[in-house]
Structure 1
Amino acid sequence: MAVSASKFNMFAFFKLPSAWWCGVRLRHIERSKAVVTVKHRWVNQNPFNSMFWAVQGMAAELSTGAMMIDQIKESGHHISMLVAHNNASFSKKARGKITFTCEDGDLIKGAIDTAVATGEGQTIWMKSVGVNADGVVVSTFNFEWTIRLKQ
């Protein structure tokens, strides 16, 4: 892995300041799995005293996107990436520390290899599940990432 959690969090400070100020932090990254945490605080709450859905979305997206960025960088190719679609479900109020985990990193290399071989854009769906400190699922996000070679 070319990207470490601490380097990525520094990147987030400069390039994703709203996520950084809301407390979104990459805790662990490897080829197939990334873990992101965010703690419910005053700055990221909604009027119902739980974490705003968009903050959960930032953390969930980061758990998928960090692996995408890392593997694109590792490939050595100039590849653009973009979320084309996403959906989410919410099953419990998000309070306390929420941990988002994505274990779909193994899908990325195949998409990169196909994009490079064919020159055509590729899409993959990646899922991130957010759980509270008790291990209860509070939200599940799905992101359709698109990648293509830059001209």
Structure 2
Amino acid sequence: MEQPLKLTTEQQRIDRFQRQVKSMGFRFFLLKKLPMAWLAGLRVKHLSMERCETTIPFKWLNQNPFRSTYFAVLSMAGEFASGLPALMITRSHSVKISLLVVDLQATFSKKVTGKVTFVFDEVPALAQTIQDAVESKEGRTYQATSIGYNTEGEEVARFAVTWSFKAKS
């Protein structure tokens, strides 16, 4: 007896991606694909179709000569807060979609000497931009803003990452 063809929907692929991010396997993914993120201690606190939160600790490896977190470490965590949802959404589509950072703007408003949580809460708008790129078969860009907060809830950094998306033919 022939097994029925099992179709995977976009939502099923998103659910699977979210489960993978929560697993120990994700740390191995970071080690293999983004070793600096793994070494720096980057973690995913929350990932959904509404928002993504990433954290980065203050530790010896992440510091600059001024005893605060090096700006490149903050940039990595800020970019990842919008990059992970972008990756989740592009992988949920049945067509292959290229994604690329084409611009990055940053504002640092306070010295960082502790753990920082970056929040990206524009996932629905990001998803719509990706859907537009798929439907139009043309490149689309989206400027994603992620905001970093210290443990006291004060804004310490803000990143505007411009992503480019294009469905591959």
TM range, normalised to the smaller chain?
over 0.9
User: 2: CA distance between counterparts of 1:6 and 1:29?
Assistant: 9
Aligned pairs, how many?
Answer: 151
Map of 2:31 onto structure 1: 13
Map of 1:34 onto structure 2: 52
Map of 2:112 onto structure 1: 94
Deviations 1:96-124 (A, max 9, x none): 11000100111122112211221100001
Q: Larger strand proportion, structure 1 or 2?
A: 1
Deviations 1:64-122 (A, max 9, x none): 00000001111222000001001000011111110001001111221122112211000
Percent of residue pairs bearing the same amino acid type? 34
Answer yes or no: is 1:76 the counterpart of 2:97. no
1:1-151 correspondence to structure 2 within 5 Å: 1=14, 2-4=16-18, 5-7=21-23, 8-151=26-169
- 4+ long deviations beyond 6 Å: none
Instruction: Give 1:145 deviation, angstroms.
Output: 0.4
Q: Report the RMSD for the aligned CA atoms in angstroms.
A: 1.2
Q: Any unmatched runs of 5+ in structure 2?
A: 1-13
Q: Any unmatched runs of 5+ in structure 1?
A: none
TM score, norm. by length of structure 1: 0.95
TM score, norm. by length of structure 2: 0.85
- Secondary structure at 1:3's aligned position in 2? helix
Map of 2:7 onto structure 1: none
